[in-house]
Amino acid sequence: MVRSRSVSTLVAVNLLPALYCYVAAKIVGRDSLQLLASVNTTTFLSSRERRQMALFGPVLRRFDLVLFGAESQKRLWRDTYGIGRNGQAVDVLYNGVDLDRFRRDEISPYAIPGWPASRFVIGTVGQFRPEKKQDDIIKALAALRQTGLDVGAILVGDGAERTSVLRTIDAIGLADVVLLAGEVQDVRPYLARMDVFILPSAGVETFSNAALEAMAMARPVVATNIGGMPEMLRDGGGVLFAPGDIPALVQHTKALLLDPELRQKMGQTARRVVEERFSFQAMLAQFRRQVLT
């Protein structure tokens, strides 16, 4: 296919496709192809994945350009795997959001049966995996309710950790104020219902699409200080806390819930930041510049 269509550039999205592209270039002739790779992973949780970098690392070092999802990821991969050393071209391509689709004023909030309209709602969107730490939101919810606030939580997504999260909910006795929405086709009504979006992840996050979509919906973000989150929130729109620091999560969230003006201002800033730096069109324009130059 590469030969018959006179392909000049192969773009690999993450690691296994990068291996395929490298093999294709070896077969066709390396001089006739430009190899680009986009790496979505920041850190590896399993020893098996780390061992695989003995193969993927040397392969990526032979690419003409490697794109990372955040500056922090680019630095980590340079220092750990040598990607970008010795003059190899590397760059950062931030994720982008469709600003027309993710627009708060065009979406009706999801109506939760039996929940009063006055109830504060916190929440998140993501797969139920150990590193996503949805349990931390449940623990924060319990602490917030102990202060007398009527707060509920929406968790959108599904996965292997759902059972563990359910056990935490039942153990604390919060089943009537937590909605496990499961996987949904359209997250926007759920984001619109949240007063505060929380990203409690303890690892893996490079540049969270879920957080970007919440920001585009003018939701203030409370996120862990990992991966590219400091870069995403550099110009405002949210606050950071250390992974697993439940008191800090409670403090930041409570401050936003009790101050409607602060909540609105931070949400408006979040939308502006996405418009200025993280739109889908900006991402496409950046990619074109990186590829064509």
Q: How many CB atoms lie within 10 A of CB 87?
A: 5
180 and 66, same structural domain? no
Has residue 30 got a pLDDT over 70? Answer: no
Q: Do the Cβ atoms of 93 and 283 come closer than 8 Å? A: yes
227 and 114, same structural domain? yes
Domain count, the chain: 2
225 and 172, same structural domain? yes
∠ CA 212-21-23, nearest 5°, is: 150
Query: Would you state the pLDDT for residue 14?
Result: 86
123 and 259, same structural domain? yes
Query: Domain of 82?
Result: 9-93
- CA 158 to CA 164: how far, in whole Å? 12
Question: Quick one: angle between helices 162-172 and 134-146, nearest 10?
Answer: 10
Residue ending a domain, among 93, 122, 151, is: 93
Residue ending a domain, among 45, 67, 93, is: 93
126 and 265, same structural domain? yes
41 and 124, same structural domain? no
> Residue 225 sits in a domain of what CATH number?
3.40.50.2000
Has residue 235 got a pLDDT over 90? Answer: yes
Enumerate residues 6+ apart whose C-beta is below 8 A from 250.
140, 143, 144
130 and 58, same structural domain? no
The residues that bridge with 35 in the sheet, in sequence order, are: 10
pLDDT in tens, 69-109: 999 999 999 999 999 998 999 999 999 999 999 999 989 99
Q: How far is CA 236 from the centre of its chain?
A: 16
- CA 154 to CA 21: how far, in whole Å? 41
HEC letters along the chain: CCCCCCCCEEEEECHHHHHHHHHHHHHHCHHHCEEEEEECCCCCCCHHHHHHHHHHHHHHCCCCEEEECCHHHHHHHHHHHCCCCCCCEEEECCCCECCCCCCHHHCCCCCCCCCCCCCEEEEEECCCCHHHCHHHHHHHHHHHHHCCCCEEEEEEECCCCHHHHHHHHHHHCCHHHEEEEECCCCCHHHHHHCCEEEECCCCCCCCCHHHHHHHHCCCCEEEECCCCHHHHCCCCCEEEECCCCHHHHHHHHHHHHHCHHHHHHHHHHHHHHHHHHCEHHHHHHHHHHHHHC
118 and 78, same structural domain? no
Instruction: Note if the pTM is more than 0.85.
Output: yes
198 and 151, same structural domain? yes
- CA 67 to CA 69: how far, in whole Å? 7
- CA 235 to CA 207: how far, in whole Å? 15
Of the listed ranges 170-179, 197-206, 223-232, the one predicted with least confidence: 197-206
Query: Would you state the pLDDT for residue 32?
Result: 75
171 and 49, same structural domain? no
Query: Would you state the pLDDT for residue 40?
Result: 83
196 and 80, same structural domain? no
Mean pLDDT in residue range 254-260: 98
pLDDT in tens, 123-168: 999 999 999 999 999 999 999 999 999 999 999 999 999 999 999 9
Give the residue among 256, 279, 274 at the shortest CA–CA distance from 266: 256
156 and 114, same structural domain? yes
Whether 293 is covered by a domain: the verdict is no
